[in-house]
A and B are shown apart, each in its own frame.
Chain A
């Protein structure tokens, strides 16, 4: 997994590439927590995300918890296979997609 982070004032964008799995999810969590301090908008660009396991869902859930107090979180360009995992787990009803 690779992350390209972009911070613009209080908006943070993470462009994620690869799989968010048991090995890489902790890296994503660490990067997020290091950078989300004062943000009001978080964009997770999923264009190049291969798949997400429950370890990745846990990090997304944590980010959602944090951002529900701090502002908004958007998942961008989620592909069909990843969306199916969100649907399977009910995450699709609760997240904001663009």
Chain B
């Protein structure tokens, strides 16, 4: 039922559009944090959502646009019938499917660890579903999580 889906707007726009640079995460953090507050999710869930946003946005900012400036878009929806949050990241950077990142060996001593892949690993653990598609020269990552709302 489409009527059960609530779309969050940012300054009247359908999605938050950000320069793909690490420091822009502050804007995303504020926006997503205020949505989490509005949905009265638990403090733990709010932190988890901020970690997920951090990991995906950082990947786009770090690797998405090696030849210059670009944009990352974030859309947030809430399916009221299932109490599921839908988080969609898209960018027009180089084709990159984070789900193909090999998982880290989390049993190795820290001194021997490679940090790569840890962010995506956490995203997969925190979210219920994570799906990637390449669409019209864009990377689209759709993630969902059933929320515990208060």
**A50 & B47 in contact (Cβ 8 Å cutoff):** yes
CB within 8 Å: A-B pair count: 70
A80 to B44, CA, bound (A): 9
B110/A94 in contact, CB under 8 A: yes
A90 and B29 CA atoms in complex are apart in Å by 26
Tell me which of A7-15, A35-43, A61-69 binds B: A61-69
Q: Which positions 42-70 of chain A face chain B at CB distance < 8 Å?
A: 50-55, 57-58, 61, 64-65, 68
Contact A22 B54 (CB under 8 A): yes
**Chain B residues touching A, majority SS:** helix
> Given A52, A57, A68, A81, which contacts B115 in the complex, CB threshold below 8 Å?
A57
A: interface residue count bin = 20 to 34
Instruction: Tell me if A72 is interfacial: C-beta within 8 Å of chain B.
Output: no
Query: Quick check: is A23 within 8 A (CB to CB) of the other chain?
Result: yes
Q: Which of A65, A80, A89 makes the CB contact (< 8 A) with B118?
A: A89
- B58→A61 contact, CB < 8 A: no
Chain B nearest Cβ from A61, distance in angstroms: 5
The residue from A54, A55, A91 contacting B110, defined by CB atoms under 8 A apart? A91
Residues in A neighbouring B55, C-beta threshold 8 A: 53-54
Mask of B37-73 contacts with A, CB within 8 angstroms, 1/0:
0000001100100110011011001000000000000
A1 to chain B, nearest CB (A): 11
A contact residues vs B (CB 8 Å cutoff): 19, 21-23, 50-55, 57-58, 61, 64-65, 68, 80-81, 84-85, 88-91, 93-95
Q: Please give the residue numbers on chain B whose beta carbons come within 8 Å of chain A beta carbons, in ascending order.
A: 22-23, 25-26, 29, 43-44, 47, 50-51, 54-55, 57-58, 61, 104, 106-107, 109-111, 113, 115, 118-119, 121-122, 125
